[in-house]
Structure 1
């Protein structure tokens, strides 16, 4: 009984940390995409430069480490529970979350560092870094992809406890994973362009349907519905 109580308490602490980390991470993701990006379209050059040098680095610090806390506590919960949460929902939600984490650390943050460094160099009277525009585009596409993914991710994380699909259905699950991976490929394409491999793969890097705030919200809701229907009806 004592061991069960200890495990339950540890799982609750991990869940608490998971929620705190997730709120920090996803809250800043929405800030970047729904607020800051729109402000930068209208801001004066001096105001945008100041924000890039002073505001954005601080926000990105909480953003990327919030992602780390979210991932580690999520893995911790799974380890403590012994994998007893066996619904397809948690696996889809976890896949989306892990892809979002890799986008943060492998695409968004490295490319944003280039953008910030370029802004600082311009502020000191120098020229913008030659790869700053490409870095901004790559980070922007990955960030929009994360916003797209966050909507179904949050749904499936909640569904795993409140509306679980406990019977594993290989075909709909494989189709759902394929859809997610195709969207991830598109979102990572601009960051992959520097590798020779990308020249041998189909084109990607399109943000036509979720370039606007309304577009990414609608696409995220549509993705959540499609993935849900795959699990629920097939």
Structure 2
């Protein structure tokens, strides 16, 4: 077996793993946003408490490790291919990396506080005072990930089926928009940093508070980023 065949085989295995990890990760992201959050709005206190203690931790385990597996296999693909890909894959990868950091640095740590609070209440104690704020931080980051997932999936597919040549101005403009949205989503976690305090306040969920709103915003972001890459 020559080196080219070996390289193609390794890339295919990595892509397969990337798909498996991505389906697990994004599938649970959509479950949290489209199903669980809406259910919790209507569930009785006991049912919600039981779900937070028993269901949510299991879902979050697959969620965060699905994200990890997706990132590792994605980096492996980059290593095997060695660069030279269309700008679409770099935009999609940037969105994916921010989504990964949101999972591990915002959503998971804050959900741990929410779970601990529910467990403490179920045991006859009082709710943790920081639980409500933690839930809001996790919710904003989760909605940001939903927003990012729509263009991320588009550009991952476009990299193979509708590729754009790398254009530095288009890439910088796309990155600036993504950074601004990530700043808004991460703001509650970083607002006390000395550098961030010099920047405009953010952290608003806005139209992404509703399912319809976040879907529309995700589609709109996809169109905007696509036009930037397509027209410049």
TM-score, normalised via structure 1 length: 0.97
C-alpha distance in 2 between matches for 1:144 and 1:56: 17
Q: Is 1:3 aligned to 2:3, yes or no?
A: yes
Residue of structure 2 equivalent to 1:192: 190
Measured against aligned partners, the alpha-carbon deviations of 1:81-137 in whole angstroms (never above 9, x if no partner) come to 1224x2110000000000000000000000000000000000001111111011000
1:209: how far off? Answer: 1.2
Counterparts in 2 of 1:12 and 1:91: CA distance versus 1, 3 Å: same
Correspondence 1:123-138 to 2 at 5 A = 123-138=122-137
TM-score, normalised via structure 2 length: 0.97
C-alpha distance in 2 between matches for 1:200 and 1:10: 46
How many residue pairs get aligned? The number is 232
Residue of structure 2 equivalent to 1:148: 147
Correspondence 1:38-77 to 2 at 5 A = 38-77=38-77
Residue of structure 1 equivalent to 2:37: 37
Residue of structure 2 equivalent to 1:205: 203
Runs of at least 4 residues off by over 6 Å: none
Structure 1 stretches lacking a partner, 5+ long? none
Residue of structure 2 equivalent to 1:170: 168
- The RMSD of aligned alpha carbons is 1.0
C-alpha distance in 1 between matches for 2:196 and 2:134: 17
Q: Is 1:220 aligned to 2:211, yes or no?
A: no
Measured against aligned partners, the alpha-carbon deviations of 1:180-204 in whole angstroms (never above 9, x if no partner) come to 0000000001122354544332111
2:209 aligned counterpart, secondary structure: coil
Counterparts in 2 of 1:210 and 1:135: CA distance versus 1, 3 Å: same
2:208 aligned counterpart, secondary structure: coil
1:127 aligned counterpart, secondary structure: coil
C-alpha distance in 2 between matches for 1:194 and 1:40: 30
